[in-house]
Amino acid sequence: MTETPRQLFARAWQILQDRNDWEQKQRRFYIMRHDGLRRRAKPFPSAADLHIPLVDEAISKLKPFTLSQVFSSPRLATFVAMRKQLQQITESASDFFTFEMRQRSNFVKVLETCVDTMLLRGRGIIKSYVDPYDDYRIVHENVDPLFLLMSDTADNFEDADEWVHVRQMSVPKFKRDRRFFNRVEEEMSDGELNKKVNLLRGGKNAADRLRTQRGRDFDTIQMDKEIREGVTHSISSDTIIIWEHYVRTLGGITVYTYAPVAMDVEIRKPYGVPYKVGGRVSAPFFSFQMEIKDEGWYSPRGVAEKIADKEIYACKMWNAAADAITFLNTPMITSDTPLQNPANYRMVPGEYIPGNIRPVQFGQPAMSYGEQIMFARGEAELSAQMPDYGIEKPGQSKGEKRTATENNRIASLQSVNQNHAGSIFKECLMKLFRHNWGLILEYKRASLTYFISEDLQSLPEQAMHDEYLITPGGAADDWDKQSKLQRAVQRYEALKGAPNINQDELVKDVLDADDGRLSKRLLMPQNQRLAMEAEDEAMEIVILTDGFPASVKPGEDHLTRIQVLMGWIQKQGMQRKPVDPVAKQRIHQHLIEHLKFLQQLNPQAYKGLMQQIKQSEQQMQAQPRQAQPQQQIAAPQMAPAAPGQMAML
């Protein structure tokens, strides 16, 4: 059943009234962050009115922590296939998704704005949809919670019965937007387009009627004294405010579009949300919560709400200190005898003041203003879950320092808090990534090319399905690049050469900790490298058998090359082929040089190799005398140092 704009507006208006207290707090927090709350009444005209921006400082510190969980990893998201397919195909899907989000959409900028809003207000909102007039490009839009009307009975968009997105735009932008009138023709001149806009059901002056001047609808509903600046109207007469009212139905989600100032004007016919993920309708709105506390849409608190009282107290102390300095520099004076025209006298050097005058003495303040400001700052950082080791701890005496144990405990507490906040943020981000991958599957099948590590690639068609588990690719501690690199290097040193550890992934972890692009450019899989080393050594043997020398380089895999040489020697002995004396000398010298480098660079491998050769010689001596002529040539053969290396030869 289709609802009228007046019925929808009545329900939306009730939501707007119910959130009045929350809205007033948010407007105050915005002022507190940017301009600071002014003193209500100055004690004297020249009194200080200073602002310590604790809210803005806390947001500036927490913002990089949150964004690092997304942008510090080479891939924005990690894909795990829920069906059997090659790992390379799964990685291609992740690379393609990263390219789409970073290069073909405005995701990076919008997410940064959304995180800032989340930290300030407690909740950030991103709207994600496609633009059919721009090759179905994915568009992200940051929605300020002040401009989204949601009932407090809902926790999120998944369980909300209805919500309203309040949109502001200029009149020229409204005329250019093809969504807000019933466009049928594919080609239309500018004059025809303006005519189409003016022929809305509201009459020839529909665009003018949509301007945000108060119209008869507000007079009828008797809400003139309660209208909201920016939500129902604007002080600018060239601004149009449109409400997009989303209503959940049995068949999906229906969107109604109307303007509060002229509800009889048909801006756009009701339509259903076309986006689907996993066969179900997906609302294009995604909420990012600062915390999970009570149930209800307005329950999450932002940084401003948590530390507002600390900022007010710190500002009060700073203003008190400034006022004290003012009284100290220009004190009030008193005298035993009345002064004639005291306003003519100034407390400046060289000034003659008659009479026995003296400054009014004030007692010492009960506390240190500086210590109280630091106390407020410390409490604010603790409340915002961002301890700062460089400040004094709350309540400490002057000169007292934190101990190493305190710092370690604070670091552990900080890690726990950041991991918890990161898990909340990642859960919200995972829903957005899942929705965006659904948009790619639905609208982007014709464009499957992408760049990765300066290489143009194409996504296989087999990767285009929705059976993926998609999670954000970053970690909570990725903000500290130096610490991350140090841990990766320590892990590499501890696990290097371990037979049950994938050495390629171990090296890749170190490269990614330094720069996510290096692993693609520098890392060569170990099996591939061994094969190339063996092939190169085989070519050098051909050179050596012709009597020409071949140089031995320190960076070569000496163990693999020695195995190739010993294998060639074994083959020559088994086939009883004579070897040219010069070639024999060249090969012997070449082998000795490899052994020297192996002994210097990898003493453990050299020791194992010598033991294998010794065991081989002992086995030869224990065999019957008649079998020795054939075995003498094969005597240098040794067992492979690692499984699969000798089999490759």
28-69 pLDDT per residue, tens: 999 999 888 888 888 888 889 999 999 999 999 888 888 888
pLDDT attached to residue 477: 60
Q: Does 101 score more than 90 pLDDT? A: yes
Assess whether 531 and 591 both reside in one domain: yes
Residues 339-350: what's their mean pLDDT? 69
Q: How confident is the model at residue 588 (pLDDT cuts 50, 70, 90)?
A: confident
Residues 625-639: what's their mean pLDDT? 41
Cβ proximity of 458 and 448 under 8 Å: yes
Q: How far is CA 284 from CA 94, 143, 272, in A?
A: 21, 12, 12
- Phi (first) and psi of residue 247, to 5 degrees: -125, 125
Give strand pairing partners of 125: 143, 287
Query: Structure tokens of 275?
Result: 């986006």
Residue 229 lies in a domain: no
Q: Does 205 score more than 60 pLDDT? A: no
Assess whether 514 and 535 both reside in one domain: no
Say what percent of the chain tops pLDDT 70: 74
Residue 560 lies in a domain: yes
Query: Which of these three, 471, 499, 523, is where a domain ends?
Result: 523
Q: How confident is the model at residue 187 (pLDDT cuts 50, 70, 90)?
A: very low
Residue 531 lies in a domain: yes
pLDDT attached to residue 246: 96
Helices (H), 239-336: 303-329
Residue 41 lies in a domain: no
| Sequential DSSP letters for 174-208 | HHH-GGGS----S---HHHHHHHHHTSTT-TTHHH
Assess whether 510 and 599 both reside in one domain: no
Total of domains in the chain = 2
> Residue 292: how many CB atoms within 10 A of its CB?
14
Q: How far is CA 457 from CA 47, 75, 451, 452, 524, in A?
A: 66, 16, 6, 7, 19
Give strand pairing partners of 288: 124
Handedness of CA 265, 270, 276, 281 (dihedral sign): positive
DSSP assigned state of 228: -
Q: To 10 degrees, what angle do helices 503-514 and 481-495 make?
A: 160
pLDDT attached to residue 231: 66
Identity of the amino acid at 297: W
Q: Does 643 score more than 70 pLDDT? A: no
Assess whether 518 and 549 both reside in one domain: no
Q: Does 364 score more than 80 pLDDT? A: no
> Taking the chain, what is the end-to-end CA distance rounded to the nearest angstrom?
76
Q: What are the residues whose beta carbons fall under 8 Å from the beta carbon of 371, sequence distance 6 or more? A: 392, 398
Assess whether 503 and 536 both reside in one domain: no
Q: Compute CA 443 distance to the chain's CA centroid, rounded to the nearest angstrom.
A: 25
Query: Which of these three, 523, 553, 588, is where a domain ends?
Result: 523
Q: How far apart are CA 315 and CA 490, in angstroms?
A: 46
Range 491-500 contact pairs with CB under 8 angstroms and sequence separation of 24 or more: 499/642
User: What b/e string do you get for 447-482 counting C-beta neighbours within 10 Å, with b at 16 or more?
Assistant: bbebebeeeeeebeeebbebebebbbbbebbbbeee
Give tens-digit pLDDT for 301-338: 999 999 999 999 999 999 999 988 887 777 777 777 77
Residue 29 lies in a domain: no
Can you tell me whether residue 80 is helix, strand or coil?
strand
pLDDT attached to residue 519: 65
Q: Does 284 score more than 70 pLDDT? A: yes
Q: How far apart are CA 324 and CA 477, in angstroms?
A: 44
Q: How far apart are CA 570 and CA 635, in angstroms?
A: 8
> By mean pLDDT, which of 40-44, 354-358, 615-619, 644-648 is the weakest?
644-648
The alpha carbon torsion through 557, 559, 560, 561 (nearest 10 deg) reads 80
Q: Of 223, 265, 260, 268, which Cα lies nearest the Cα of 239?
A: 260
Assess whether 590 and 637 both reside in one domain: yes
User: What b/e string do you get for 605-620 counting C-beta neighbours within 10 Å, with b at 16 or more?
Assistant: bbeebeebbeebeeee
Can you tell me whether residue 625 is helix, strand or coil?
helix
Handedness of CA 558, 563, 567, 573 (dihedral sign): positive
Q: How far apart are CA 222 and CA 88, in angstroms?
A: 64
Q: How far apart are CA 151 and CA 530, in angstroms?
A: 64
The CA-CA-CA angle for residues 39, 42, 48, to 5°, reads: 75
The alpha carbon torsion through 473, 477, 481, 482 (nearest 10 deg) reads -150
> By mean pLDDT, which of 436-445, 452-461, 571-580 is the weakest?
571-580
Identity of the amino acid at 131: D
Q: How confident is the model at residue 184 (pLDDT cuts 50, 70, 90)?
A: very low
Residue 584 lies in a domain: yes
Highest mean pLDDT among 197-201, 428-432, 581-585: 428-432
Query: What does the mean pLDDT of the chain come to?
Result: 78
Q: Of 297, 182, 179, 184, which Cα lies nearest the Cα of 244?
A: 179
3-class secondary structure for 153-174?
Answer: CCCCCCCCCEEEEEEEEEHHHH
Give tens-digit pLDDT for 72-89: 788 899 999 999 998 889
Q: What are the residues whose beta carbons fall under 8 Å from the beta carbon of 356, sequence distance 6 or more? A: 335, 336, 337
pLDDT attached to residue 411: 61
Q: How confident is the model at residue 148 (pLDDT cuts 50, 70, 90)?
A: very high
Assess whether 491 and 588 both reside in one domain: no
Q: What are the residues whose beta carbons fall under 8 Å from the beta carbon of 307, sequence distance 6 or more? A: 54, 55, 58, 379, 380, 383, 384
Can you tell me whether residue 137 is helix, strand or coil?
strand
Identity of the amino acid at 155: D
- Phi (first) and psi of residue 492, to 5 degrees: -65, -45
Domain boundaries, position 540: 526-648
Q: Does 400 score more than 90 pLDDT? A: no
Assess whether 613 and 519 both reside in one domain: no
Highest mean pLDDT among 344-353, 406-415, 488-497, 593-602: 593-602
Assess whether 622 and 538 both reside in one domain: yes
> By mean pLDDT, which of 169-183, 391-405, 538-552 is the weakest?
391-405
Assess whether 532 and 506 both reside in one domain: no
The reported pTM is 0.69
Give tens-digit pLDDT for 231-258: 665 556 678 889 999 999 988 999 999 9
Q: Does 160 score more than 70 pLDDT? A: yes
pLDDT attached to residue 649: 27
Q: How far is CA 248 from CA 58, 153, 251, 432, in A?
A: 38, 15, 8, 19
pLDDT greater at residue 18 or residue 506: 18
647: burial class by Cβ within 10 Å (0-12, 13-18, 19+)? Answer: exposed
DSSP assigned state of 37: P
Residues 113-138: what's their mean pLDDT? 93
Q: Give the strands of the sheet with 148-150, arranged side by side.
A: 148-150, 162-170, 239-249, 252-258, 268-272
Highest mean pLDDT among 408-417, 471-480, 583-592, 625-634: 583-592
Highest mean pLDDT among 271-285, 441-455, 554-568, 583-597: 271-285
Question: Counting every residue, how long is the chain?
Answer: 649
Q: What are the residues whose beta carbons fall under 8 Å from the beta carbon of 63, sequence distance 6 or more? A: 112, 115, 116, 119
pLDDT attached to residue 225: 36
Residue 624 lies in a domain: yes
Can you tell me whether residue 355 is helix, strand or coil?
coil
Cβ proximity of 214 and 261 under 8 Å: yes
Residue 190 lies in a domain: no
Assess whether 514 and 613 both reside in one domain: no
> By mean pLDDT, which of 145-159, 285-299, 563-577 is the weakest?
563-577
Q: Of 571, 568, 563, which Cα lies nearest the Cα of 638?
A: 563
Assess whether 531 and 517 both reside in one domain: no
Cβ proximity of 116 and 288 under 8 Å: no
pLDDT attached to residue 222: 36
pLDDT greater at residue 377 or residue 2: 377
Q: Does 154 score more than 90 pLDDT? A: yes
